[in-house]
């Protein structure tokens, strides 16, 4: 899952980025509102951690533009508003502007991580904390994945790829879409990094692994297997 952090407090932005990367997300950062809008307009993010008070375009304006369809991609990004303010008016206004949830600063990283997981699950129309597809089970909070009860020893990128495939099981996902949602802005689009990671993941899933190649279109995680 690809996340954008828009936050002008550099230390906080970098800490949130590192924390979310450890959780297995691909994370980009924008240190101002205009840079944030720019990134949103050319990348299909799954979620935006959006500071309310920003230099340039502020968080409420960005939320409004996203709600009005800024950016491209398969699904609009979820918005988690970060705010130093805790007045009811600000929270209500932020939610009215299109934020899906909000978090009042200062916050513990564990709470931000839990809200991010909840919003991304909501996006996929699932409510449980543990994803299950066929014989696969993935617990994002504990970074654990199993197949038929057997633990899988996955790298962070393989884990992130498997999670994205499970959240979209049954759908054909183009390599470009996987690159956009599982890798961050430093990924080189001209390498075969998606193919290599899919191949490594398949090997670790073992016999009768459930990731199909759909020739000319992409990959699909089947319900069987």
Least distance from Ca ion to the Cβ atom of residue 156, Å: 29
- Beta carbon nearer to Ca ion, 81 or 221: 81
Q: In the Cβ-directed half-sphere of 104, how many Cα atoms lie within 13 Å?
A: 7
User: How many residues form the binding site for Ca ion (CB under 5 A)?
Assistant: 3
- Beta carbon nearer to Ca ion, 65 or 83: 83
Distance, in Å, from the CA atom of 220 to the CA atom of 34, rounded to the nearest integer, reads 36
- 184 touches Ca ion (CB under 5 A): no
- In terms of phi and psi (left: phi > 0; alpha: psi -120 to 50; beta: otherwise), the region of 78 is beta
Interface positions, 43-102, toward Ca ion (CB under 5 A): 51, 53
Least distance from Ca ion to the Cβ atom of residue 115, Å: 18
- Beta carbon nearer to Ca ion, 7 or 158: 7
Interface positions, 129-148, toward Ca ion (CB under 5 A): none
Interface positions, 4-33, toward Ca ion (CB under 5 A): 8
Distance, in Å, from the CA atom of 68 to the CA atom of 74, rounded to the nearest integer, reads 15
- Beta carbon nearer to Ca ion, 53 or 132: 53
- Beta carbon nearer to Ca ion, 5 or 173: 5
Least distance from Ca ion to the Cβ atom of residue 126, Å: 32
Distance, in Å, from the CA atom of 103 to the CA atom of 75, rounded to the nearest integer, reads 23
State which H helix or E strand residue 212 sits in: strand 211-214
Q: Which residue is nearest to Ca ion (CB)?
A: 53
Rounded to whole angstroms, what are the CA distances from 222 to 91, 147, 169, 170, 209? Answer: 41, 13, 6, 5, 9
Least distance from Ca ion to the Cβ atom of residue 48, Å: 14
- Beta carbon nearer to Ca ion, 8 or 14: 8
89 SS3 class: helix
**Nearest in space to 150 (alpha carbons), one of 207, 223, 100:** 207
Using CB under 5 A, list all residues that contact Ca ion: 8, 51, 53
């Amino acid at each position: 899952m690809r996340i954008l952090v828009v936050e002008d407090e550099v230390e906080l932005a970098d800490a949130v980025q590192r924390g979310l990367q450890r959780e297995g997300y691909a994370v980009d950062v924008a240190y101002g509102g205009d840079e944030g809008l720019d990134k949103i307009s050319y990348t299909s993010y799954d979620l935006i951690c959006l500071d309310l008070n920003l230099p340039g375009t502020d968080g409420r304006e960005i939320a409004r533009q996203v709600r009005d369809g800024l950016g491209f991609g398969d699904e609009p990004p979820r918005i988690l508003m970060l705010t130093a303010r805790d007045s009811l008016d600000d929270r209500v206004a932020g939610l009215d502007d299109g934020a899906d949830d909000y978090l009042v600063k200062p916050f513990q990283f564990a709470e931000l991580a839990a809200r991010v997981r909840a919003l991304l699950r909501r996006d996929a129309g699932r409510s449980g904390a543990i994803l299950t597809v066929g014989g696969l089970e993935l617990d994002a909070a504990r970074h654990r994945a199993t197949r038929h009860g057997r633990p899988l020893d996955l790298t962070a990128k393989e884990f992130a790829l498997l999670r994205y495939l499970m959240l979209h099981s049954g759908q054909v996902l183009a390599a470009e879409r996987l690159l956009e949602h599982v890798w961050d802005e430093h990924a080189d689009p001209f390498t075969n990094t998606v193919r290599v990671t899919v191949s490594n993941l398949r090997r670790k899933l073992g016999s009768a692994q459930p990731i199909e190649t759909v020739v000319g279109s992409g990959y699909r995680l089947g319900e069987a297997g």
